[in-house]
């Protein structure tokens, strides 16, 4: 039974802890700058409160470290955990800046630790179904339209330059990974636009759009913003990500929990009822990470995926 230690015990740590217990792992405990947050996590999921991140990383009882803090501290904790030879699961983005991502890739390569990124949206049932549609032989996707829309959350640490990085970093990391997972390959050309439509100048941005041309001649159009609300983005709408692809004479559109295909004969809709942890891909991502800790070879977003997303964010920003 693998034991997980959490650095950062806020909202997302609770989600991962629930998934770990579901798949037979246990929670060794947590460290948080706010001790009360570590207390809430361990009260709910077990384990002990660590008084420092160093103490947690050094504990021989900890098999893997989940880094669930704000973005400014991800790279320091990756280095600390790797220094103790621990496997790492790092929440997105891999770091606040491209230089952090490059450093993380070097650390993972030189230490040889197992490493996974928190790109859960790959594993929602709707996106898994869309991936199967895309991978069916016969014709290639010519165009993809993707949107990633949340309820507002930028007016806190996420929207600032120092700890969050704004929509481009917070949501861009997810959508760039998801689109690259669906349509792998080199990105030849990048165009980016970002904007502060509702927020003041103390925040980075609240909306962006990007157009990517792949080497294979596909046009990928992405946009992300925080102008949704709970009914639209999460429950019951589940439109947080919505992706449509155009492939030969067919088209298909998917969200977290549905898949719709369109052909000359009409359209068909498939729905995938599931609980929140499965619908958003958290459950499957954690299941896979626990398998990697047992030495099983499973596909999982690694350090390259974190680096790829960071590189695309940087390329878009250069185009602004």
Question: How many residues contact ligand NAD, by CB under 6 A?
Answer: 21
9 binds ligand NAD (CB under 6 A): yes
Indicate which single residue of 10, 39, 160, 302 sits in contact with ligand NAD (rule: CB under 6 A). 10
Does 71 interact with ligand NAD (rule: CB under 6 A)?
Answer: yes
Closer by beta carbon to ligand NAD, 11 or else 318: 11
- CB 215: neighbour CB atoms within 10 A? 10
Q: b vs e for 255-267, b when ≥16 Cβ sit within 10 Å of the residue's Cβ?
A: bbbbbbbeeeeee
The contact pattern for ligand NAD, residues 114-133, with x = CB under 6 A and - = no contact, is: ----x-x-------------
- Report in angstroms how near the CB of residue 181 gets to ligand NAD at its nearest: 14
Q: In angstroms, rounded to a whole number, what is the distance separating the alpha carbons of residues 101 and 103?
A: 5
Record the tokens describing residue 124, joined without a space: 């929602």
Phi/psi region, residue 219 (left: phi>0; alpha: psi -120 to 50; beta: rest), is beta
**Could you tell me the maximum CA-CA distance found in the chain, to the nearest angstrom?**
62
Q: Is 178 in the site for ligand NAD (CB under 6 A)?
A: no
Minimum distance, C-beta of residue 295 to ligand NAD, in the bound complex (Å): 25
Q: What is the DSSP letter of 27?
A: E
* Between 15 and 207, CB nearer to ligand NAD: 15
Stretch that binds ligand NAD, among 64-72, 96-104, 143-151, 268-276 (CB under 6 A): 64-72
What is the Cα–Cα distance from 161 to 15, expressed in whole angstroms? 26
State yes or no: residue 16 binds ligand NAD (CB under 6 A).
Answer: no
CB 45 within 8 A of CB 17: yes
Q: How far apart are CA 281 and CA 261, in angstroms?
A: 21
Q: Is 32 in the site for ligand NAD (CB under 6 A)?
A: yes
Asked if 34 touches ligand NAD (CB under 6 A), the answer is yes
Question: Nearest Cα to 159, choosing from 149, 170, 147?
Answer: 170
165 binds ligand NAD (CB under 6 A): no
Is 8 a binder of ligand NAD (CB under 6 A)? Answer: yes
CA distance 9 to 14: 7
Q: How far is the CB of 291 from ligand NAD (least distance, A)?
A: 19
Q: How far apart are CA 220 and CA 301, in angstroms?
A: 21
Task: Give the one residue of 70, 225, 238, 288 binding ligand NAD; rule: CB under 6 A.
Answer: 70
What residues does 195 pair with on adjacent strands?
Answer: 207
The answer to whether residue 233 forms part of the interface with ligand NAD (CB under 6 A) is: no
Interface with ligand NAD, residue 278, by CB under 6 A: no
Positions that interact with ligand NAD (CB under 6 A) = 7-13, 32-34, 37, 68-71, 73, 91-92, 118, 120, 170
């Amino acid at each position: 039974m693998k034991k997980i230690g959490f650095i950062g015990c806020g909202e997302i740590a609770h989600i991962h802890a629930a998934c770990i217990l579901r798949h037979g792992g246990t929670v060794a405990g947590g460290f948080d700058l706010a001790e009360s947050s570590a207390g809430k996590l361990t009260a709910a999921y077990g384990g002990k409160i660590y008084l420092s991140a160093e103490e947690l990383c050094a504990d021989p009882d900890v098999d893997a470290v989940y880094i669930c803090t704000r973005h400014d501290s991800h790279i320091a904790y990756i280095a600390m955990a790797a220094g103790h030879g621990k496997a790492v699961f790092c929440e997105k983005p891999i770091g606040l800046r491209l230089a952090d991502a490059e450093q993380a890739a070097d650390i993972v390569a030189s230490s040889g630790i197992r490493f996974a990124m928190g790109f859960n949206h790959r594993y929602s049932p709707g996106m898994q179904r869309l991936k199967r549609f895309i991978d069916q032989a016969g014709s290639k996707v010519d165009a993809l339209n993707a949107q990633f829309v949340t309820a507002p959350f930028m007016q806190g640490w996420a929207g600032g330059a120092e700890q969050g990085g704004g929509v481009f970093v917070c949501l861009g990391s997810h959508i760039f990974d998801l689109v690259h997972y669906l349509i792998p390959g080199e990105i030849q050309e990048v165009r980016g636009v970002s904007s502060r439509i509702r927020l003041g100048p103390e925040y980075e941005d609240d909306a962006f759009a990007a157009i990517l041309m792949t080497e294979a001649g596909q046009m990928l159009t992405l946009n992300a913003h925080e102008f949704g609300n709970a009914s639209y983005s999460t429950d019951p709408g589940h439109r947080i990500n919505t992706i449509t692809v155009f492939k030969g004479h067919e088209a298909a559109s998917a969200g977290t929990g549905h898949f719709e295909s369109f052909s000359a004969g009409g359209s068909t809709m498939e729905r995938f009822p599931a609980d929140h942890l499965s619908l958003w891909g958290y459950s499957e991502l954690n299941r896979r990470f626990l398998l990697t800790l047992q030495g099983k070879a499973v596909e999982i977003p690694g350090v390259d995926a974190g680096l790829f997303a960071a590189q695309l964010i940087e390329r878009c920003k250069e185009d602004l």
